[in-house]
Amino acid sequence: MIFYDCSTAPSPRRARMFIAEKGLTIETRDISIAKGEQLTEAFRAINPRATVPVLITDEGDTLTENLGIAAYLEARFPTPPLLGS
């Protein structure tokens, strides 16, 4: 998996917290919104909406919303349960 993050943005922070609470180590790539890196052709090929967070799953799916990322990680790594049981 690859997690595209921006350490200064509030939205990816939610996904970072979920990943940390799950105790997961996921390859992370920092995207600087201040430098406009989310607008590059390379990043837009990953997420045409040019937003972070983004999680590329091991299956090759691209998740671009916090709820989708959390639901995927919860299903793939059910312990500890963070979304209820």
Tally of CA atoms within 13 A in the half-sphere of 32 that contains its CB: 3
Report the length, in residues, of the chain: 85
State the pLDDT at residue 42: 97
The band of 84, judged by pLDDT with boundaries at 50, 70 and 90, is confident
Mean pLDDT of 53-79: 97
pLDDT mean across residues, the chain: 96
- What's the whole-model pTM score? 0.93
Give the strand order in the sheet containing 54-56: 27-30, 2-5, 54-56, 62-63
